[in-house]
Structure 1
Amino acid sequence: MIRQVYHYAVAFITLVMVIGGGVFSFMALADYVSPNAYVESFEDYKMMREYHPKFENSEVKREELSEEELRRQYDVMVQQQMENNKQRALNSFVKSLGWIIIPLPIFVFFQRRINREKGNK
């Protein structure tokens, strides 16, 4: 009786882990396909560059950049943020696969044991 309860408990727990891993994997793939990231506006980026505290009351001379150069730097920053978000999503996907691959054989093993015990009765 106790062994049967143990087999059912392990099968249930590993099944929940596999389902959770599937959900997390799907969410990570969705983040990879359509990264959802907050990106500051160009105006905010420009103001941050103009009024950054590291330049206030300092001997460091501010470099005066043209609007085109600021726009180019902003576009590069946005692209880097999107690439970073995609990389994080891919990393999360690989980790989520662990929640499927590791408990799945344990679930199959205990499920077969449960079925074998049912067949013997």
Structure 2
Amino acid sequence: MIKKVYLYLVLFTTLMMMIGGSIGVFMAASDIISPAPYYQSFAEYRQYGGEIKPDPSGEGEIKLSDEELRARYDEMAASEKERQILRAKNSLFRSFGWVLIPLPVFIFFQRQLARKEQL
């Protein structure tokens, strides 16, 4: 009786781990395919971002043009998108671990249960 409860408990636990890992795989894959858009608009970046840069001669500061600000903003948004994709790839790899590591344990204990049921 206790052995049977133990088998069912292990099966339940490993099944829950694999379901959680599968959900993580799906979420990471969706983040890779369609990452979240950058949260800050160009107007906010211009208002709060660095509109000025130090003068190379060391005297005062130079105000950046809209083209330079837009280039900096686009570069920052692209790097953030790339960072999100890299994080999602890392998460995808870890989620596959949550599916693949419990799988052999689940199969082994399922066979043990099937063998006990036949007896």
On whether the aligned pair clears a TM of 0.5, the verdict is yes
Q: Please name the residue that 1:21 is paired with.
A: 21
Q: Does 1:41 align with 2:57?
A: no
After TM superposition, which residue ranges in structure 1, 4 or more long, deviate above 6 angstroms? none
More contact order relative to length (CA 8 Å, sep ≥ 6) = 1
Letter paired with 1:100: V
Residue correspondences, number: 115
**RMSD over equivalenced CA pairs, Å:** 2.0
The structure carrying a bigger strand percent of its residues is 2
2-structure distance, mates of 1:32, 1:4: 42
CA distance in 1, matches of 2:59, 2:18: 56
Aligned residue in 2 for 1:83: 82
Over residues 31-57 of structure 1, what are the superposed CA-to-partner deviations in whole Å (9 max), with x where a residue is unaligned? 1100014421111111113579xx9xx
TM-score by length of 2: 0.88
Distance 2:111 2:62 in 1: 70
Once residues 73 and 20 of structure 1 are traced to their aligned partners in structure 2, the CA distance between those partners, rounded to angstroms, is 39
| Sequence identity (%) | 43
Contact 1:35 1:82 in 2 (8 A): yes
Aligned counterparts of 2:59 and 2:12: Cα–Cα separation in 1: 63
